[in-house]
Amino acid sequence: MASRGATTRGAFPGGLPHASAIGELEDWPKGLTGALLALKLRARRQQLLLRALRSRRELTPVIDRTAQIAPGDVLCFLCIRNEAHRLPHFLRHHRALGVKHFLVVDNASTDGSDRLLSDQSDVSLWQTGASYKASRFGMDWLTWLQMRHGHGHWCLTLDADELLVYPYCQTRPLQALTGWLEVQGRDSFGALTVDMYPEGPVSQGAPGPDDDPIRHLAYFDPGNYQVQVQPRMRNLWVQGGARARAFFADAPRRAPTLNKTPLVRWHWRHAYVNSMHSLLPPRLNQVYATDGGELTSGVLLHTKFLPGITDRSAEEKQRGEHFADAAQYAAYFDRLTADPVLHWAASTRYTGWRQMEALGLMSRGGWI
């Protein structure tokens, strides 16, 4: 596995950067130990599905247009709170990629997000005032909707501050990508979260809700990503980027996890375990190659650092709903409210997916 603090080219779901990481996969439990682990993971998956079933009582439908969903449609699931300034571009971006329907849980927004979403002809909306943390940070709610509406569809699960980028995304729709994945025998697609930030303090500027946030958040860290393989569920664990550098230099293991598996051909028995970082059954987590090659992968452009992040960070620290142990991350929120400058000497201006592939952050993986 890559050593802590090392700059890792290709620390993304497309390929493994170090032979020792592959060795961990070779130590995957065999025989009785493997059978016991499989039983344990199956029990965990059943527990998550039961939680999702119970959580449906916390959801109130606002407008249900799911009757419009057709076979073969790519669906997008997300849970939001006060994202009215991001949603117009988020919806436009993913519609352009080929998403046909958005299934959204609104967790007590007060900024008009619910009205904005209700007015969209391709959105179905549910509301809840229940605890985001107690719902496994929204995953129980989304798992229920995926069980109910996602079975048999390719499902994209995102946060409102994430924009999916994949090879040829400017000219090929998601249906082309999912077709390629199916030909390859794959039911899941991995992506690396890339923190985007402005040149100056994070509070600077005033982009409008219809503006592309990447015009404002034009920079990212091109390296300094660390990757490990977690053999229990075969998922990657990638850390690094701007948040690790700026906020977790003294405690790198607390830095946010950057690998996600956002696009999955859904079965009602599937369940995310830890946000979109890992799934059950574990075969869905193997979105990387172990034979020296690369699998097709993408990136999620993370637009967290738009103006307003300072006030929002103060609010979220008070709410304590975004981390399992919020006290451990109090200093992180305090640093954000201080209006930091994330830009530094190695910052790179974003130009597109080919640049991301050249840097080793995503891969075509044979898709030509």
307 token code pair: 């103006």
88 token code pair: 């117009």
The answer to whether residue 114 is domain-embedded is: no
Q: Please tell me the distance from the alpha carbon of residue 299 to that of residue 295, in angstroms, as a whole number.
A: 13
- pLDDT number for residue 327: 57
- pLDDT number for residue 318: 67
Q: Please tell me the distance from the alpha carbon of residue 87 to that of residue 120, in angstroms, as a whole number.
A: 11
The answer to whether residue 113 is domain-embedded is: no
Please give the backbone phi and psi of residue 325, each rounded to the nearest 5 degrees, phi first. Answer: -120, 85
The answer to whether residue 180 is domain-embedded is: yes
The answer to whether residue 39 is domain-embedded is: yes
- Total residues belonging to the chain: 368
Share of the chain above pLDDT 90, in %: 76
Taking only the tens place, the pLDDT of each residue in 149-169 is 999 999 999 999 999 999 999
- pLDDT number for residue 39: 93
Q: Residue 26: give the domain boundaries.
A: 19-50+161-358
The answer to whether residue 228 is domain-embedded is: yes
In terms of Cα–Cα distance, which of 58, 59, 77 is closest to 149?
77
- pLDDT number for residue 17: 40
Domain count, the chain: 1
Mean pLDDT of the chain: 89
Q: Please tell me the distance from the alpha carbon of residue 236 to that of residue 288, in angstroms, as a whole number.
A: 8
The answer to whether residue 154 is domain-embedded is: no
- pLDDT number for residue 176: 99
The answer to whether residue 226 is domain-embedded is: yes
Check whether 178 has a pLDDT greater than 50: yes
The answer to whether residue 174 is domain-embedded is: yes
What's the number of CA atoms in the CB half-sphere (13 Å) around residue 67?
3
Taking only the tens place, the pLDDT of each residue in 247-292 is 999 989 999 999 999 999 999 999 999 999 999 999 999 999 887 7
Let me know: does 281 contact 194? Beta carbons within 8 Å: no
Q: Residue 348's beta-bridge partner residues?
A: 220
pTM of the model: 0.90
Number of other CB atoms surrounding residue 360 within 10 Å: 20
Which secondary structure element, helix H or strand E, spans residue 31, and what is its range? helix 31-55
- pLDDT number for residue 331: 76
